[in-house]
Chains A and B, each alone.
Chain A
Amino acid sequence: MSDSAPNYATQLPLNLPSRTVRIWRERIIATILFLAAFSSVATTLAIVYILFSESVIFFELVAEDHAGTVWAALVEFLTTTEWSPLIEPKTFGVLPLLTGTLVTCLVGLTVAIPLGTVMAIYLSDFASPRLRESLKPVLELLAGIPTVVYGYFALLLVSPTLQKLILAVQMFFWPGREEFEYFQLPGFNMLSAGIAIGIMIIPYISSLAEDSMRAVPVYLREGSYAMGATRLQTAIGVVLPAAFSGIVAAYILAISRAVGETMIVAVAAGLQPIFTLNPLEGAATTTAFIVSVSLGDLPHGSLEYQSIFAAGIMLFLLTLIFNILGYFLSRRFREIY
């Protein structure tokens, strides 16, 4: 009777691949997926390689042009205050671009940090859940607006409004002068670009800071309320310190955004690299300089062309530092509870 036992393998209507095929198919898929994930590392390596190798060419060209040695070119790049790569005699002191970046960034943060923080506290500890759920997406729209539209906004709405406002303030306090004797805000200025940047980065701060404040456990708040503290005292005395590293991580992300912002400053802050810390003047930032050179259709390999990579590597290192700082801070805040 044993030979009448049914052979299931032939009876079942299955066409299963053999075990080896199955294992190999799985391995191939895993490899492909790994390569996709690894592409991010490759991207970073490519960024570093391109920026570094092209910058080396830049410093060699500067050395050839007037600086003598690559070392002298590097010193000139980092310490002198005149940036004129397009006009003879060419000079390559990057500090004007840095101050331009710094000033617009600072103006932006002066707008965004107080507003964003107050909003975050209000939304997390005061607003009703309904209000919070409907306001958050609306605020996040601010970050979704294309930056070139913000540039338009800064140049054609913020800047003229500020011009009128500054003139009106002067006429109020020092009346009776001829109009040209008053200080006139130039059409391109870092103040209006900075304000637009600030408005753009508000949601980064309000949203992320709110998230980290919501993550503070309710019992901490309840403990504080039980001691007779008001909501405001609880928010400032208990929730804010508990969520501190998350909030700082949000600030750092916002700083990194503001430093790297390009189109707003390219449109509204002007393209003249001036070494100044006065936000009422126009100046070029690192990013705006890269845009202005890219628009100029310069030949590949020329000194001016290479200079955008030197500016780029500086920007990259600057944001890299902020990003790493932010990463570790946000990791810390996750580990607290």
Chain B
Amino acid sequence: MTTAPVEITQDLTAIHRSIDQRRLQEKIFILLGLLSILFALLALTALVLDLFFRGLPILNWRFITSPPSSTPEEAGVLIAWVGTLLVMVVTALFAIPMGVAAGIYLEEYAPKNWFSNFIEINISNLAGVPSIIYGLLALGFFVYTLNLGQSVATAGLTLGLLILPIVIVTTRESLRAISSTIREAAYAVGASKWQMIADHVLPYSMGGILTGIIVGISRAIGETAPLITIGALTFITFLPDSPLKSEFPFISFAWLQSPFTVLPIQMFNWVSRPQEAFQVNAAAAGIILLVLTLGVNGLAIYLRYRFRKGIKW
């Protein structure tokens, strides 16, 4: 049997070649993976840097406190950020109680039957409906059926509906994370179901719910299409009525019916103009928008990280 060693060495070289080949493939893939991540990060950096280089020179106090104007040098974002703020107040006031309540129902109360299943499928489907469809819904329903007009209230409700699925899903997830021992302990001392939820489960899951709300709000801040669809004005030079008054009863709700514009619409308006100077304005508005949405998003990521580390059952 003198041939065997030769065969073995042949096999061994073949095996070595195959191993080398596979190592090479793996290296190429790692390179590919790093390159695609690099591409995504480069795109992100290019976008941010381009906005900052163009917009930062004109981003000053005057820009933030001036109304829009037909001369780009005088134009500012005052009306737009006030509009964004007011719309977000309505959005939050609508979406938070509705979303949290719906989340509690689905997680704690819903019986396991086809209808609960149907609501569940429906919510995950709503999360995938394009935002502009919500705009069409609002146009047909809020503006022309309920006669709310093209107002702050309509815009807030529209965006509220839009972020509702996000709030519901994150509420459910954070409720699910609460250990059942907490529930049993509450029942054991005689709490009713609602007392158990309100006094025990909800406080413990607040962190997760808050994260969901913040993600939703950050999404709503950047949303443009549905508000254009309901007929938000693209050029407006007056502020909505102030919610605080100097005389009795000190609080007014007239701003709810006021026409408005928001930051993304203001930016869209400026991008769509051919003049270079308006595009500088657009970049400056873009910086504000980016700082707002990414800042709020970052806060949510931080909160998620903290709460995940925090409580261990």
Contact = CB atoms under 8 A, between A and B. Distances in A.
Given A151-B268, A312-B133, A141 B44 contact: yes
Contact of A26 (B99, B132, B194, B283): B194
B140 A144 contact: no
A65 B118 CA distance: 41
Contacts of A147: 222, 224-225
A29 interface: yes
A309 B128 CA distance: 18
A291 B279 CA distance: 20
Contacts of B234: 295
Contacts of A220: none
A221 to B, nearest CB: 15
A139 B229 contact: no
Nearest to A156: B279
A121 B139 CA distance: 43
Contacts of A327: 121, 124-125
B273 to A, nearest CB: 11
A150 B192 CA distance: 50
Interface string A273-295: 00000000000000100110011
Contact of B130 (A138, A287, A297): A287
Contacts of A309: 136, 140
A43 B137 contact: yes
A118 B38 CA distance: 12
Interface in A37-62: 37-41, 43-44, 46-47, 50-51, 53-54
A259 B130 contact: yes
B301 interface: yes
Contacts of B33: 118-119, 121-123, 126-127
B132 A30 contact: no
B46 interface: yes
B43 interface: yes
Contacts of B272: 267
Decide if the interface of chain A is mainly helix, strand, loop or mixed.
helix
Contact of B128 (A114, A138, A322): A322
Given A40-B165, A231-B26, A145 B126 contact: no
Given A40-B122, A135-B37, A262-B132, A29 B194 contact: yes
B236 interface: no
A22 B102 CA distance: 22
Interface stretch (B85-93, B105-113, B239-247): B105-113
B51 A152 contact: yes
A50 B230 CA distance: 14
A320 interface: yes
A315 B130 contact: yes
B22 interface: yes
Contacts of B32: 118, 122
A41 B119 contact: yes
Contacts of A316: 129-130, 133
A130 interface: no
Interface in B16-47: 22-23, 25-26, 29-30, 32-34, 36-37, 39-41, 43-44, 46-47
B128 A32 contact: no
A318 to B, nearest CB: 9
Contact of A119 (B37, B192, B283, B294): B37
A199 interface: yes
| Most central of B101, B105, B126, B136 by chain A CB within 10 Å | B136
Contact of A149 (B129, B230, B286): B286
A86 to B, nearest CB: 17
Contact of B22 (A135, A230, A259): A230
Interface of A: 22, 25-26, 29-30, 32-34, 36-41, 43-44, 46-47, 50-51, 53-54, 114-115, 118-119, 121-123, 126-127, 135, 137-142, 144-153, 155-157, 199, 202, 206, 230-233, 253, 256-257, 259-263, 266-267, 287, 290-291, 294-295, 297, 300, 308-309, 312, 315-316, 319-320, 322-324, 326-327
Given A146-B293, A295-B228, 13 more contacts: A25-B194, A34-B109, A36-B102, A40-B165, A43-B137, A43-B164, A54-B136, A146-B223, A148-B289, A153-B47, A156-B271, A262-B225, A323-B125
Interface of B: 22-23, 25-26, 29-30, 32-34, 36-37, 39-41, 43-44, 46-47, 50-51, 97-99, 101-102, 104-106, 109-110, 118-119, 121-126, 128-137, 139-141, 144, 161, 164-165, 168, 192-194, 218-219, 221-225, 228-231, 234, 264-265, 267-268, 271-272, 279, 282-283, 286, 289-290, 293-294, 297-298, 301
Closest 6 CB pairs of A and B: A260-B130, A146-B222, A122-B33, A36-B101, A50-B140, A33-B105
13 contacts: A119-B40, A122-B36, A144-B297, A146-B264, A148-B222, A230-B25, A266-B225, A290-B229, A291-B132, A294-B230, A312-B132, A320-B129, A324-B125
